[in-house]
């Protein structure tokens, strides 16, 4: 039959057969042919990359080991690569390092939280224990208060007597201190001090004392207390540049008597100003020479160098502060002192004059 056909008919038949064969090719073959054609048209560098993709993008293990990854996984891979372009620490290695650091930090924080919780539990236990101890102490205090005996009146009076007198002839040091402190309150007299102390004793003991202290005894106490205070607080080293003390002298007329007071002012070792009444004496006559002699003797009795006296605090009377026959001038001459200053208090005005 073919031999009978002419040339034109043969060409038509051949074209028909070719078209039929092409239709019979599967879609996979078409894709393969297209892929081959595309690869053939690529430059050599791209072909090397395609080879690397075919050898790399495969399942590393499992039932599909060695087969090319599915389109889904390939799309995921390209998404991951695209999201990491031009970004720092975008590689899997860097991400793993970052994850490790975060995990390590998380462990440290977790451990710190555990330690804090442990301390918190311990603190709560201590609070509970402290509260229990507190309740126990309160219970003990209440128990002791309930068991304690009430102080009877005669017991209190006996204790008060022991605080005033050791025996019938000797007073306690606490009472001596109380009496001398009362006698130094402002302008209270020795006699008024004795009456105040007696009233206090009667109030606490409930008895009127048969024998009570006299003005001579209270005066002697004041002298002894002043001497002890001066010895304990006065500056120890007279060779120091800042060593000094001052004299406060005053005369008070009470009836026919002229009571003369001598006080020392000085700084103790704690830089505190101390003022001590060193002598209280009755004088029949007040003159500059008598005052100077009395003050000089008082200094020597208390082991104070008269030549180191820094100042006098007096009133403005002539026999006390006069420039010729005043007590300060006489004191400087007798003691060979060079205090050189007199302080006068005239109302609110203070003067400092050289002597």
Q: Where are the domains of the chain?
A: 154-218, 237-353
The answer to whether residue 312 scores a pLDDT higher than 80 is yes
Reported confidence tier of residue 140, pLDDT bands at 50, 70, 90: confident
DSSP one-letter string for 58-114 = BB-SSTTBTSBPPHHHHHHHHHHHHHTTT-TT-SHHHHHHHHHHHHHHHHHHHHHHH
Residue 188, pLDDT score: 82
Give me the pLDDT at residue 342, please. 40
Backbone angles phi, psi at 106, to 5 degrees: -65, -40
Report CA Rg, the chain. Answer: 58
> Which segment of 83-97, 256-270, 282-296, 326-340 scores lowest on mean pLDDT?
83-97
Tell me the pLDDT tens digit for each residue of 194-237.
999 999 999 988 889 888 989 889 988 988 888 888 888 776 66
Q: Which of 82-86, 128-132, 327-331, 346-350 has the lowest mean pLDDT?
A: 346-350
The whole-angstrom separation of Cα 292 and Cα 54 is 126
Residue of 244, 249, 246 lying closest to 327 (CA atoms) = 249
Residue 125 has pLDDT above 90, yes or no: yes
Q: What is the mean pLDDT of residues 163-174?
A: 89
- Look at residue 254 in the predicted model and tell me its pLDDT: 67
What per-residue confidence (pLDDT) applies to 349? 32
CA atoms of 250 and 239, how far apart (whole Å): 29
Higher pLDDT, residue 164 or 21: 164
pLDDT for 4 = 58
Whether the pLDDT of residue 183 is over 60: the answer is: yes
The helix or strand, by DSSP H or E, that contains position 139, with its residue range, turns out to be: helix 92-147
Is-contact 140 188, C-beta < 8 A?
Answer: no
CA 81 to chain centre: 61
Average pLDDT, the chain: 80
Q: What is the model's pLDDT at position 15?
A: 72
| Rounded mean pLDDT, 9-20 | 69
Q: Is the pLDDT of residue 65 over 70?
A: yes
Calculate the CA 150 to chain-centre distance: 43
Domain 237-353 sits in CATH at 3.30.420
The pLDDT value given to residue 119: 93
Q: What is the pLDDT of residues 48-57, one digit of tens each?
A: 888 888 888 8
pLDDT higher than threshold 70 for residue 31: yes
pLDDT band at 340 (very low <50, low <70, confident <90, very high): very low
pLDDT(61) > 60? yes
352: which strand partners?
343
């Amino acid at each position: 039959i073919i031999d009978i056909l002419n040339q034109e008919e043969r060409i038509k038949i051949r074209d028909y057969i070719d078209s039929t064969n092409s239709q019979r090719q599967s879609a996979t073959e078409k894709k393969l042919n297209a892929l081959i054609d595309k690869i053939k048209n690529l430059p050599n560098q791209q072909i090397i990359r395609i080879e690397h993709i075919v050898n790399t993008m495969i399942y590393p293990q499992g039932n599909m080991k060695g087969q090319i990854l599915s389109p889904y996984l390939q799309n995921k891979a390209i998404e991951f690569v695209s999201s990491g372009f031009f970004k720092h620490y975008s590689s899997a290695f860097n991400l793993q390092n970052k994850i490790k650091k975060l995990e390590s930090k998380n462990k440290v924080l977790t451990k710190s939280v555990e330690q804090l919780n442990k301390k918190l539990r311990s603190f709560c236990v201590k609070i509970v224990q402290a509260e229990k101890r507190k309740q126990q102490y309160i219970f003990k205090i209440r128990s002791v208060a309930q068991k304690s005996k009430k102080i009877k009146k005669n017991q209190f009076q006996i204790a008060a007597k022991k605080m005033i007198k050791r025996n019938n002839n000797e007073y306690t040091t606490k009472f001596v201190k109380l009496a001398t402190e009362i006698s130094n309150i402002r302008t209270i007299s020795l006699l008024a001090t004795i009456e105040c102390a007696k009233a206090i004793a009667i109030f606490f003991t409930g008895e009127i004392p048969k024998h009570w202290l006299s003005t001579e005894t209270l005066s002697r106490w004041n002298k002894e207390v002043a001497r002890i205070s001066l010895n304990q607080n006065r500056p120890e080293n007279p060779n120091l540049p800042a060593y000094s003390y001052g004299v406060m002298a005053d005369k008070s007329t009470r009836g026919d008597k002229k009571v003369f007071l001598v006080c020392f002012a000085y700084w103790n070792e704690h830089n505190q100003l101390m003022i001590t009444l060193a002598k209280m004496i009755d004088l029949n006559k007040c003159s500059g020479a008598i005052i100077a002699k009395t003050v000089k003797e008082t200094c020597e009795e208390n082991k104070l160098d008269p030549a180191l006296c820094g100042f006098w605090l007096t009133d403005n009377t002539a026999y006390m502060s006069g420039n010729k026959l005043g007590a300060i001038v006489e004191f400087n001459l007798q003691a060979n002192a060079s205090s050189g200053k007199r302080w006068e208090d005239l109302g609110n005005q203070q003067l400092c004059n050289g002597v």
